[in-house]
Amino acid sequence: MRNIIDKVLIFVLVLSGGGILFVLNRNSSYWMFFCLLVISFLFFGNKLKKNIVNILVLTFLSCVGIFFLNYFFAIAEQSLLKYLFFILMSVISILMIAYFKNNDNESSFVYSLHSVLKIFLFHGVVNFFMYFFINQSLFELSNNTSHYSCETFNYLFYYLPEINIINISGFEFCRNQGFFWEPGVFQVFLNILFFIEAFIIKRSNKLLLLTAFVILTTYSTTGLILLLIQVIVLATENHKSKIISIPLIVLLIIPIYVVFNLNVEDKMHGDRETSFQIRLFDLVQPFAIALEHPLTGIGLDRDQFVKYRFNYFVSMNFLTNLNEYSGLELTKSGTSLGSTNSLMFLLAGAGFPTTILLLYMLAKQQLIKKKKWLLMIIIVVSAMSEPVLLRPFLFIFIISGFMHIFYKITSHKNQLA
């Protein structure tokens, strides 16, 4: 029974990282997740151990301290409800890690995650091909609160045909978003599945090929970059230990490289140049804001952030230096939207000390210990292309770092005593 509960919790955790359910029904979905965690603790978990209780309290107080220091030192009035929402995200993440740690099955987190991500993978395969048959039978789903809408077929398959139709040499398809609100979010979980399968589980080359194919169907630049990095690392290890065959590496690299080239060309000079400019703007402008407010940032209230950045213009000197040193030209000058770059949003909203602290805790995470450097690349690069860093799925890795540090501190004190 506990094995089933583990997988249910992981399934909901993945959806909380950018699933459509949590976008269209944000408040009720997160409270449902919280209640599910509490029920799991009460009826399916072991009695909380004293040392874990101490770690939970210290981690919770640290999160509360970080968010409320930001709340009080923000340059504009912030919504208390927004910060209470961040606290809820922290509590969910803390309880999630504590559930696995307290039940002495931390290793099952990775295996449960692997099993659950395969479900999303197989759904993604069907989701991609079904579009060709059901594209005339879709109906709209929308939420005025989140300003999000998509099209669905019987709540099983989801698409954004207005903005995600791609034509490659006459072959037209809709970018694959699976159960998530955007293809760029779907690729995060697919790349993590590829990582687990390639470097931890090491069971199936066929699953690696299938995962790579579905990442290609997302047509996400970030997803393709991360996949290419992983395949190169895998090829390097194959040279040393023959993990996978040379033909498999060729089968992976050639289509990835071809689609990546087409994707970049389309974004730099083609129909999707606007998308590239938005990403570049969301990298440059929040960083410029952070340079002006380096210690505490301007606050993490998204609505206040949008108002501030709408009237904020990057200095010409900054733009000149950007163009001179990178060769990239920023043509976009303003926006009334939130940031797609959740790492830069954190930097502008919370300042350099808090951002560096959270990244340090991310590096110290203990959920997945093998090849942590590669996992961190996947998480950080993904966070720089999608607003996912402060959602529970990625935030648990940061929380894991906090809990690990506090575990070492409390253990050391117990030894001294």
Residue 393 predicted with pLDDT over 60: yes
pLDDT at 14: 96
Mean pLDDT of 378-405: 92
Q: How confident is residue 268, by pLDDT bands cut at 50, 70 and 90?
A: low
| Cα-Cα-Cα-Cα dihedral sign, residues 47, 52, 58, 60 | negative
Percent of the chain topping pLDDT 90:
44
- Residue 337 — φ and ψ, nearest 5°? -110, 165
Average pLDDT of the chain is 84
Mean pLDDT of 40-55: 79
pLDDT at 44: 76
Mean pLDDT of 98-124: 87
Q: How confident is residue 358, by pLDDT bands cut at 50, 70 and 90?
A: very high
CB neighbours of 369 closer than 8 A, spacing ≥ 6?
none
pLDDT at 126: 96
Q: How confident is residue 349, by pLDDT bands cut at 50, 70 and 90?
A: very high
pLDDT at 385: 87
Q: How confident is residue 70, by pLDDT bands cut at 50, 70 and 90?
A: very high
Which of 117-131, 160-174, 275-289 is modeled with the greatest confidence?
A: 117-131
Q: Which DSSP category does 47 fall into? A: P
Rounded to whole angstroms, the Cα distance separating 308 from 119 reads: 41
Rounded to whole angstroms, the Cα distance separating 270 from 23 reads: 30
Of the candidate ranges 49-63, 120-134, 246-260, 345-359, the one whose mean pLDDT is the lowest = 246-260
pLDDT at 281: 80
